């Protein structure tokens, strides 16, 4: 059994920057340093925001290896290693373990729509890699949802299951889970960080933190300090941006925002396409309100 891992606070679902169709390693390294310098408490590479569906297996492995090397133990690395093939997910998870990741993020098996028992058996098999598991419940992407009962069963039965990234958009789901066990509940939606915290959550795996890590850290700090009035003020101030970064499918808007700010090339891999021109002026304006020099 590995040492217990504490997953809480402000974590980032980091983008994978591209240039000319290839991974931009120089930009990626700068993004990792930027996150740590601004108080981010965990890095999640190869998730939805990292465009894992269009990374090759070789690229996926290298992104995780590079992230672990660059972070150098300063904060936890939670590697996205999920798949709709259990064998494939197990290989990815074993690789993340060997690369030195602190935990793995396991999305519900997409497209093939397994039963609750199938998802339980899938996670139980992945636990053989002996890497702490963060479940990732996002039915809008996968077409299947872990029920609270299955989450609780996994947590109670499978020692490696330590947390869940809750992205169902349903506060009742977070409440049901929190009422039944003490698994760490991390918001998978920026706009629900405060609401989920109010029913038992302990942090967020954030998209907006890619460009405003300090703001997300301050929101999470206010929550952890039980300063709810301050957390409410920060939540409401950030709320227009929470909505704007999901005006099109993630990670299109956040990459558009980072491109406008000169942090990365505004480049995605098909079938993802750059942010529509109609949305750029409003997003740039919101970013400028937070001191980001963004040009639409």
- As annotated, the active-site residues are 136, 165
Greatest distance between any 2 Cα atoms in the chain = 51
Long-range contacts of 181-186 (CB under 8 A, 24+ apart): 181/151, 181/152, 181/155, 181/156, 183/151, 183/152, 183/155, 184/7, 184/8, 186/7, 186/8, 186/11, 186/134
For strands 161-166 and 133-137, give the pairing. Answer: parallel
Measured CA to CA in angstroms, residue 70 lies from 12, 32, 51, 101 at distances of 15, 7, 20, 12
CA 194 – CA 223 distance, rounded (Å):
7
CA 8 – CA 64 distance, rounded (Å):
20
């Amino acid at each position: 059994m590995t040492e217990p891992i504490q997953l809480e606070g402000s974590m980032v679902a980091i983008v994978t920057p591209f240039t000319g169709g290839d991974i931009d390693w120089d930009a990626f390294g700068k993004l990792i340093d930027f996150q740590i310098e601004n108080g981010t408490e965990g890095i999640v590479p190869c998730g939805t925001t990292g465009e894992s569906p269009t990374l090759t297996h070789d690229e996926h492995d290298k992104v995780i290896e590079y992230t672990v090397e660059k972070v150098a133990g300063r904060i936890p690395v939670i590697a996205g290693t999920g798949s709709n093939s259990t064998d494939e997910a197990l290989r990815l998870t074993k690789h993340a373990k060997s690369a030195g990741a602190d935990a793995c993020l396991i999305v519900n098996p997409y497209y093939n729509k397994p039963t609750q028992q199938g998802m339980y058996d899938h996670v139980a098999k992945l636990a053989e890699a002996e890497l702490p598991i963060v479940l990732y419940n996002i039915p809008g992407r996968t077409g299947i949802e872990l029920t609270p009962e299955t989450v609780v069963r996994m947590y109670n039965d499978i020692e490696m299951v330590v947390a869940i990234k809750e992205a169902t958009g349903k506060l009742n789901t977070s409440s049901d889970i929190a009422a039944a066990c003490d698994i760490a509940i991390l918001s998978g939606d920026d706009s629900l960080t405060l609401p989920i915290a109010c029913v038992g959550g302990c942090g967020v795996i954030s998209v907006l933190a890619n460009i405003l890590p300090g703001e997300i850290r301050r929101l999470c700090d206010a929550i952890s300090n039980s300063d709810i009035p301050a957390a409410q003020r920060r939540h409401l101030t950030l709320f227009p941006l929470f909505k704007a970064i999901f005006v099109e499918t993630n990670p299109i808007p956040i990459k558009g925002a980072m491109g406008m700010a000169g942090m990365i090339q505004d480049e995605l891999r098909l079938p993802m396409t750059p942010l529509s021109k109609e949305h750029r002026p409003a997003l740039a304006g919101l970013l400028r309100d937070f001191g980001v020099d963004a040009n639409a």
